[in-house]
Amino acid sequence: MTACAGTAKVHVASPPDTATTTPVASESPTPTPTPTPTATKPGPILTDGHTVALGFTVTAVVPAGPVVYAVGGDSETVTVARIDVAAKSVTAQRSFPGDTVRASVGGGALAVLVTGHSTTIARLDLRTLAVTAERTLAVRAAGVLARPEATYVSTPGSILVLDPATLQTRHGIVVDNDPQQGAYGAEIAADPRSHILYAGIPSSSHPLIDVVDLRTGRILARPRVPAVVVAEPQGYGDDSWAVFATGMMAAAELLTPTGHVRTTLAQIGPNTATIAVTGLHLWTFAPSFHQNIQCRDLSHGAIEGSEPDPAVGMVTAADDTHVYLGGNDSLSIYTPGGACA
């Protein structure tokens, strides 16, 4: 996820969505200070690199087990490509008229949100990318989150809850909104194992994160975040890691459903630094900068391994088995090694 508005948004695969929900995590009384680096195992942390040519500028990467979806395009056409990781090849591709595209895997389908002259939400077959449902929304939207029970779309001041098969609106969840920003909605994320959703609300005066119980639609907490504009969350059980620009550097916080800060990581990179939450590590990246890629302990953020960015990727993502760096017309795929295996 990027740490500042206006740049590419990366959606990172979480654990399988077949798992049951987990109880709200217990809290520690005070935030944990920024951890010191831990000893690392020998060997490079990125191995077996290979590049897949795509022919379009990648703006988001969505890992999904043995395949990965790369999305992007230009000012008139956006493209979704399905890549077989083992075969190192594109197995399906589909284009839509539009300016930007967001994507999320969940509930047995790939949901894509395309914005341009209008806003379209589409449900795609995971193998063929055939459109199985599609509709035009009456409002602009910022993000999409696909889950088995519903597809969630963030709009200004509301998260639309859509039927996952038909994409028709069931109801909306009211969240905070700062209309002066001209933003089209919050940055939303949730671990598939949990019923807790985190919504980063864009604002130049008081950025915050709304914590939502998806079972009831109730706001559980509304903590303020020391961000310049917006914090971008990623679910970690019932908790969430959130990354944000501070003006000089990027920082990250581990939040609980009550808004308590478990851990703060300061100066993880420039304002455009990103994170990726996987089942094994918290990855931190600095796209377009010659700074190290790092894997960290998921529970407190201590550095476990570090290595210079081999491709200076524009967008980044990771899951338990691979790290992805997207560029102007290709996607580079690496296998974690050493301390990050």
Check pLDDT > 50 for residue 22.
no
Mean pLDDT of 35-41: 50
pLDDT in tens, 237-248: 999 999 999 998
The reply to whether 264 falls in a domain is: yes
Q: Please report which confidence band the pLDDT of residue 206 belongs to, taking 50, 70 and 90 as the band edges.
A: confident
Rounded Cα gap, residues 294 and 303, in angstroms: 7
The reply to whether 300 falls in a domain is: yes
- Domain around 304: 46-340
**CATH label of the domain that carries residue 261:** 2.130.10.10
The reply to whether 7 falls in a domain is: no
The reply to whether 218 falls in a domain is: yes
The reply to whether 210 falls in a domain is: yes
Check pLDDT > 60 for residue 316.
yes
For the chain, the domain total comes to 1
pLDDT in tens, 207-231: 999 999 999 999 999 999 999 999 9
**Contacts for 10 with CB less than 8 Å, ≥ 6 apart:** 1, 2, 60, 61, 274, 276, 315, 316, 317
The reply to whether 143 falls in a domain is: yes
| Coil vs helix vs strand at 338 | helix
Mean pLDDT of 324-328: 92
pLDDT in tens, 104-120: 999 999 999 999 999 99
Rounded Cα gap, residues 282 and 340, in angstroms: 10
Partners of 102 in beta bridges = 113
Choose the most confident range, by mean pLDDT, from 33-37, 179-183, 259-263. 259-263
Mean pLDDT of 58-69: 97
The reply to whether 38 falls in a domain is: no
pLDDT in tens, 114-154: 999 999 999 999 999 999 999 999 999 999 999 999 999 99
Cβ contact 124:110 at 8 Å:
yes
Rounded Cα gap, residues 128 and 109, in angstroms: 11
The reply to whether 21 falls in a domain is: no
